[in-house]
Chains A and B, each alone.
Chain A
Amino acid sequence: MSLTIEETKLRNKELIAEVLKAYPEKSAKRRAKHLDVHEEGQSECDVKSNIKSLPGVMTIRGCAYAGSKGVVWGPIKDMIHISHGPVGCGQYSWASRRNYYIGTTGIDSFGTMQFTSDFQEKDIVFGGDKKLEKIMDEIQVLFPLNKGITVQSECPIGLIGDDIEAVSKKKSKEYGGKTIVPVRCEGFRGVSQSLGHHIANDAIRDWVFEKTDADKNKFEATPYDVAIIGDYNIGGDAWSSRILLEEMGLRVIAQWSGDGTIAELENTPKAKLNVLHCYRSMNYISRYMEEKYGIPWVEYNFFGPSKIEASLREIASHFDDKIKEGAERVIAKYKALTDAVIAKYQPRLKDKTVMLFVGGLRPRHVIGAYEDLGMKVVGTGYEFGHNDDYQRTTHYVKDGTLIYDDVTGFEFEKFVEKIQPDLVGSGIKEKYVFQKMGVPFRQMHSWDYSGPYHGYDGFAIFARDMDMAINSPVWALTKAPWKK
């Protein structure tokens, strides 16, 4: 009963009209701008994005703090990131993003720990700067191998007028020039995580690059030095990416920021090329390094063999023949693996439909991986995308795809109920809603505690996981036989 493209478009348009009916008039008008059916040939998906969520609609979005502490800074493993403010923000984001790292936690690495100033009423009334100073002193005593400190501001900081910049400068001087980074990522800033990424990027620019002693942490540069930008090493993603870059002859001098260190951040300006995976969260610093240090950057996509292959060649095109040959060698080396993965899983997944709603790069980046397995993405949207994300999305989506920006709980449920995809890929808040409805689901933020999904090694895991979600016997049993 598959619909023609025209029928699909009509169905999707009707569906949009239907969900909008549930809103009060003013809100319906505003939400209408975020929903669209993709028309082939359009240069961008015709939706508004990166604007405020409506109150009360159950947006899936987070906040600037989540974008800075949770995404950009949190994974830098040898620094201590203070969740500055009340206890909750740090507690809920404690070790929940699965940014894998190697290190001795609590001694020389701190990624899966929760450092908080645990604000009390008196800190709100009298300000928290004195407490912050004391906290930094205590960190220096109890965690002497920390390589730096960041202050991740929670909502109250910006509201009570604390001067975390002054505290950071003072303490940095006191500790002999230690890297201490104040980050103004209060949760009320901006409309989503996205501004938090930007603020965190700017903090690296202002408090790391601007203050780094070029003679520190020296190494011999090579013509093949690159930095991985925008890979948070969720379930080991950056590792299964790095290995490919190294196998083709490049030398990865830094990982931003999964399994990353402050030394790697500081040394990144020595790279010959920045390779950027999550454009949304780290395009800012890539552009800055291009302007300031003349380092070109290139976006790549390591989901699924088609995109990996194209990306390896694209990256190689910035280097000499040695690297170009290296790329071909890597592609050839993994051919047997990807052929075997596709041969095994495509027959089980062919023509299955997927609806996505994720953040960062994934609403478009994973489409190719699904297509490598013969699957079709019929709906997608960004939690916190901007216009440039939707422009990039047109290269990925098919005619008639339903596009939903900052989807609300209500809309997403209705869309899935009507479209009945074979798989939904979204987050933990959405997972159980759809599983209750009998729809197979994979978390596409945390890889549902699996991964890596990047690179060739990751693609095998991705394919296996999608198969086990869709073809699990449980979905045939959700309806009692006497009710069928």
Chain B
Amino acid sequence: MSQNAEKVIDHEMLFREPEYVEMFAKKKEQFEFGFPIEKMEEIREWTKSKEYQDLNFAREGLTVNPAKACQPLGAVFAAVGFAKTLPFVHGSQGCVAYYRSHFSRHFKEPTSCVSSSMTEDAAVFGGLNNMVDGLQNAYSLYKPDMIAVSTTCMAEVIGDDLGSFIRTAKQKGSVTEDFDVPYAHTPAFVGSHITGYDNALKGVLTHFWEGKERTPNESINFIGGFDGNVVGNMPEIRRILDLFGADYTVVCDPSDVWNTPTDGEFRMYDGGTTKDEVKQALNAKATLSFQGFSTEKTTKYIAETGQEVVALYHPMGVAGTDQFLMEISRLTGKPIPESLEKERGRLMDAIADSSAHIHGKKFALYGDPDLMLGMTAFLLELGAEPVHVLSTNGGPEWAEKVQALFDASPFGAGCHVYPKKDLWHMRSLLFTEPVDLLIGNTYGKYLERDCNVPLVRMGFPIFDRHHYHRFPIWGYEGSLRVMVAILDEIFEALDANTIDTSKTDYSYDIIR
């Protein structure tokens, strides 16, 4: 017996105690009827080969460890970004339990969202009654100013018509006629979470803008896109726009409700874009989207209203942030503030101090298409080589943009882009063409283990490190943080590789 009341032993060490190790060995030997260790090792080695990679890349049906989620998750993200808005997902209820859990594990915050709880009878007769009762219950209990409806695949497969259901529900008095219920069809079998964000956001804008006359003014709209760092990024964007003295509206901002204090009160709603702000946003002279792939339909819709639309692709680093600031300057007619120029200089200073440690290092990265574009550009700027850039939800159009970045830099020469691929593809790449560092979300830790490559955590979701989401990765300041995160992993790896006393510790330097 090894457990001990004085110093309680956790799972990390408990199961390494001899009595457990022996128990595991006996279980395996007597009851599991697995393959001999030699066979396991043989196959393990084979999975590292080029032959395996070719078979792996020949997959047509199977997806293994994808780096994407489904549309309705993104729709909930978008709904959460509006003031006093309750996300309402029409379809099976288990989906909502999953979205809420997923967001809570990433943000370490509550995520309020309801379901219309459709079951077999709704599958047969349609979910109208669920919508009617659901809107009434949700409104009575949670007193929102707005209920933003999206769908799960179940409701989409049976063909429920949200527009007519919501109209009927209003007629039946679930909510008053003038209560705002924007909606979007968000089938899980089309696109990914960024598509859902896009559709839901467009649904809200359509709800408030359709049939309204546009009276252009000098303000600009900012749309962030689906962003795991939204809690840190959005205040950074506001700070930058405030420094410009810009007249702006952030359209969809969940950065407050996913960042509420622990002070004795649970705030189900906090912050977010108000309905008045959404209505006013129609009159803006231009909309700046930070993530073009995450807002394809929304930006197209906005452009149709007569606004100028600038769609960026997650600009990061020096040139990316320069471009972002120059666009703000152009759109607002205001000069780039000196203080931001100084921040730029500080980022340059930091890069100059550290680039020797990043220069020539090989990177593999995966994630949402916009983030990959921003990150690829930044790495090239640092003299790094992003040799594998992979996205599960990025398509050919995205791949062309990444290739253009490679082509424009001498450091992009040996680099490849992999659209519509998953992390099992990445595993093969990491064996056949190893890299120094991997950049991606929490799921990358399995690659870190299998392929022995340090992981810089970035993207969504990040479950196994705390509070990264609270800090910006946008702007010069955010880019600095990203570079520090990369440097930390490089130095950690260097230290770990030189820590053996009297063998390698001559390089275990205290000054770097």
Interface residues of A (CB under 8 A from B): 22-24, 26-27, 52-66, 78, 85-89, 91-94, 96, 100, 102-108, 112-121, 123-124, 131-132, 134-135, 137-139, 141-142, 144-145, 147, 154-156, 158-160, 187-191, 193, 217, 219, 235-236, 239-240, 242-243, 246, 252-255, 259, 261, 263-264, 267, 333-334, 337, 340-341, 343-344, 408-410, 413, 427-438, 450-452, 456-457, 460-461, 463-464, 474, 478-480
> Least Cβ distance of B479 to chain A in Å?
29
Who on chain B is nearest to A254 by CB?
Answer: B31
Who on chain B is nearest to A52 by CB?
Answer: B119
With A91-B69, A460-B4 as contacts: A236 and B264 at CB distance below 8 Å:
no
> Least Cβ distance of A301 to chain B in Å?
19
Are B110 and A261 in contact, with the CB atoms below 8 A? no
Are A61 and B93 in contact, with the CB atoms below 8 A? yes
Are A78 and B34 in contact, with the CB atoms below 8 A? yes
Q: Does B512 contact A (CB under 8 A)?
A: no
Which A residues touch B443, using CB under 8 A? 94
The docked-state distance in angstroms from the alpha carbon of A124 to that of B152 is 14
With A57-B141, A156-B154 as contacts: A119 and B189 at CB distance below 8 Å:
yes
Are B263 and A86 in contact, with the CB atoms below 8 A? no
The docked-state distance in angstroms from the alpha carbon of A101 to that of B2 is 20
Which B residues touch A66, using CB under 8 A? 94, 97-98
The docked-state distance in angstroms from the alpha carbon of A22 to that of B68 is 39
- Interface contacts beyond A114-B64, A188-B92: sample of 16 additional A-B pairs, CB < 8 Å, sorted by A: A23-B137, A58-B114, A61-B94, A62-B97, A63-B92, A88-B98, A115-B62, A118-B63, A139-B62, A145-B43, A235-B11, A333-B1, A408-B141, A428-B105, A436-B110, A463-B8
Which residues of B (246-277) have their CB < 8 Å from a CB of A? Answer: 260-267
Which B residues touch A96, using CB under 8 A? 101, 105
With A27-B137, A242-B23 as contacts: A108 and B40 at CB distance below 8 Å:
yes
With A243-B20, A435-B262, A437-B264 as contacts: A191 and B119 at CB distance below 8 Å:
yes
- Residue from the set A58, A93, A102, A123 with the largest chain B CB neighbour count within 10 Å: A58
With A24-B137, A55-B115, A436-B110 as contacts: A117 and B63 at CB distance below 8 Å:
yes
Who on chain B is nearest to A132 by CB?
Answer: B61
Are B43 and A118 in contact, with the CB atoms below 8 A? no
Are B140 and A24 in contact, with the CB atoms below 8 A? yes
Q: Which of B1, B40, B138 contacts A337 (CB 8 A)?
A: B1
> Least Cβ distance of B30 to chain A in Å?
6
Which B residues touch A141, using CB under 8 A? 55
The docked-state distance in angstroms from the alpha carbon of A460 to that of B265 is 32
Q: Which of B112, B116, B122 contacts A56 (CB 8 A)?
A: B116
Are B66 and A116 in contact, with the CB atoms below 8 A? yes
The docked-state distance in angstroms from the alpha carbon of A446 to that of B56 is 34
The docked-state distance in angstroms from the alpha carbon of A263 to that of B20 is 21
With A56-B116, A187-B154 as contacts: A112 and B264 at CB distance below 8 Å:
no
Which A residues touch B110, using CB under 8 A? 429-433, 436
Interface residues of B (CB under 8 A from A): 1-6, 8-11, 14-15, 19-20, 23-24, 27-28, 30-35, 39-40, 43-44, 47, 52, 55-56, 59-66, 68-73, 88, 91-95, 97-102, 104-105, 108-120, 122-123, 130-131, 133-142, 152-154, 157-158, 187-190, 192, 260-267, 424, 427, 443, 446, 450
Are B31 and A429 in contact, with the CB atoms below 8 A? no
Are A159 and B63 in contact, with the CB atoms below 8 A? no
Q: Which of B19, B97, B137 contacts A60 (CB 8 A)?
A: B97
Are B32 and A86 in contact, with the CB atoms below 8 A? no
A/B interface sample: 22 pairs, CB < 8 A: A23-B141, A52-B117, A56-B137, A87-B63, A88-B95, A108-B34, A108-B35, A114-B64, A121-B187, A121-B189, A145-B35, A156-B154, A159-B154, A337-B4, A337-B5, A410-B141, A428-B105, A429-B110, A436-B260, A436-B262, A452-B11, A478-B263
Q: Which of A87, A107, A430, A464 contacts B47 (CB 8 A)?
A: A107
The docked-state distance in angstroms from the alpha carbon of A56 to that of B117 is 7
Who on chain B is nearest to A452 by CB?
Answer: B11
> Least Cβ distance of B110 to chain A in Å?
4
With A86-B188, A145-B43 as contacts: A92 and B33 at CB distance below 8 Å:
no
Which B residues touch A479, using CB under 8 A? 263-264
Which B residues touch A254, using CB under 8 A? 31
With A57-B138, A58-B142 as contacts: A261 and B33 at CB distance below 8 Å:
yes
Q: Which of A54, A86, A457 contacts B14 (CB 8 A)?
A: A457
> Least Cβ distance of A323 to chain B in Å?
18
Q: Which of A55, A64, A235 contacts B133 (CB 8 A)?
A: A55
Are A62 and B109 in contact, with the CB atoms below 8 A? no
Are A429 and B104 in contact, with the CB atoms below 8 A? yes
Which B residues touch A236, using CB under 8 A? 11, 14-15
Who on chain A is nearest to B118 by CB?
Answer: A188
